[in-house]
Amino acid sequence: MKNKLKLLFYILIIVLISIIAFVGVYTSKTQFRDNALPKYSLSSEFTGKRITYLQVDDSTSDVIKDKDGNVVDSIPEDANKDDYTTEKVPVNSEEVLNSDNYRKIKEILDNRLGQFGTEYYLVKVDDQTGDIVVELEENNSTDTLLQSAVQKGDFSIVDSETKEVLLDRSHIAKAAVVYGNNETGAVVVYLQITFDEEGKEKFAEITRNYVETEETEDSEDSESEEDHKHVSIIFSGTTMLTTGFESEITNGELTLSMGTATSNSALYQYISNASIYSVLLNNPEFPITYKVTTSEYINSNINQNIIYFAIGAIAVICAIVVIYLIAKYKTNGLICSLGIVLEIAILLLLIRYTSTVISLGTLSALLVLVLLEAYCIIKILNKIKENNSYENVANVTIKTYLDMIDLIVVFLIIAIVFTFMKEVAIYSIGMTLFYGIISIAITNLIFVRGMLLAKYNTKND
C-alpha cells in the first residue's frame, strides 16, 4: 500500500507540473488575474524585426541672454529687444562627441533594452561617427520601447516661474514601480523616486518651501506670490507635472501617480509606462542627444502555418511514441510515457524562466530531445522486460543513463558551442538542448526511476 501511494504521489506531481507548464498559474496580486509565469520569448523570425538608424543630432538651438548674460526663455513683450542677444548653440558640443561617449551610449542602450524586458535586440555603434543601428523584434510595444530607449533621460525639479534647477537626477538613488488600491478598490500605479542622502535633504527643503497654502476668505483678497509657488518635474525635456506640496516630505521619496486602472489592459499600460520611467532613471542619461533618421520593418519570412505544422508534427511524433510504448510495454510503457510529458513540461518551464528565445531551431531541438528521451526509456524497458526484479530495476534505471553518457556529452558540447553563437536561431538550439538534457536527467533519475521502483516494490507490500 505504501508503494502504491508513492507511485500515486509521483503521478500527481507530474500532473501538477504539467498543468503549470502547459496551462499556467493565474494569480490576483491586484483585483485582476494574470498568468504568473514569464512569457515565452519569440525570435524575430516569428515576429519580424524593426531596424532603426540613429545619428548624432547636429542641430542648433536658440539661446536668449539678457544684457547681464543670463539665459532667459523669451524676451518679455515690454522689454527693450536691444538688451537681449540670441545665439545659435549646438545641441551637442564638440567636447561630448568622442568615441568614449559613443561606446557609453551603446552600453546604456543595451542596459535599457535589457531591463525593458525586450526579448530580442541588437545594438551596433560606429566608434568614429557615433552612428547607431538598433534591431528590435516587432510587436505592439516596439514603437514605445524604441522611443523610450533613445531618450536622453535627464530629470530635474525646477521652479516653475524662474526655471531654477532645484534638484537633478544626480541625487536619485533608485526608481521603482509600486501600486496600491484607492478607496473604490481600483488599482493606482505609482512611480516612486528615492533620493540619496543629500537629495533627501534638498527634496525636504523643496517640499517645505513649495507647500500649497489653503485659501481662505481673507487670503482671496490678498493673495501673495508665495502662496502659489510651484515646481515643475521635467523628464527628458518634457514637463511631467507642475505642482505644489501638501506638506514637507522628509523620507526622500517622490511618488508620482501614473494612473488608476479599472481593467487589465489599463493596468498593464500604466505599469508599462512607469517601468519605462524607472528603467531610464536607474540608468545614466545619454551624454549625447541623438535623432532617429530612418526606421524600417522587416517582415517575418515564416508563414504562421509553418509554425502550426511544426508544432503539430512534434505532437504527432510524441503521440506515436506514447502509443508505441503503451502497446509494447503495457503498464511500464504508460508510466514512462508520463516521463516524456514531464520532460517537455520541465523544459518549457526552464525556457520560460531563463527567457530562452524560441525559434524554429528550438522546435527542432525539442523533437531531438523527445526522441532522445524515448530512446533512453526504450533501453530501460527492454532491460526490465528481461528481468523485472526490484534489484535489476534499481540498477538498470541508473546504468542505462550512464551507458548513454557519451551521447549526452556530445549533445552537451553541441549545446555549449551553439549557446555562444550570436545568431539567434543557433543560440536557441544550444540553450534548448542544454536545458533539455537537464530535464531528461530530472525526469529519468528521479521520476521514471521512482515510479518503476514503486511499482515493482509493491510485490513486497
Question: Looking at the DSSP assignment, which residues form a beta bridge with residue 35?
Answer: 26
Using the structure block, give the residue that is written with the C-alpha cell 500527481. 12
Name the average pLDDT for the chain: 84
- Confidence band of 2 (pLDDT split at 50, 70, 90): confident
What tens digit of pLDDT does each residue of 197-217 get? 999 999 999 999 988 765 544
> What is the pLDDT averaged over residues 43-52?
78
Tell me the three cell numbers of residue 155: 530629470
User: CA 319, CA 374: separation in Å to the nearest integer?
Assistant: 12
| Percentage of the chain modeled with pLDDT above 70 | 92
Tens of pLDDT, residue by residue over 343-356, are: 999 999 998 888 78
Identify the residue with better confidence: 224 or 91.
91
pLDDT level of residue 30 (50, 70, 90 thresholds): low
**In 3D, which of 444, 443, 441, 417 has the Cα closest to residue 429?**
417
> Is residue 222's pLDDT more than 50?
no
Q: Is 49-57+92-213+227-298 the same fold as 2-38+301-460?
A: no
Give the tens place of pLDDT for each residue, 413-444.
999 998 887 677 788 899 999 999 999 989 98
Domain ranges of the chain: 2-38+301-460, 49-57+92-213+227-298
Instruction: Give the integer Cα–Cα distance in Å for 437 and 431.
Output: 10
CATH architecture of the domain 49-57+92-213+227-298 equals: 2-Layer Sandwich (3.30)
List pLDDT tens digits, range 367-396: 999 999 899 899 888 888 888 788 888 888
Query: pLDDT tier at 156 (50, 70, 90 boundaries)?
Result: very high
Architecture of domain 2-38+301-460: Up-down Bundle (1.20)
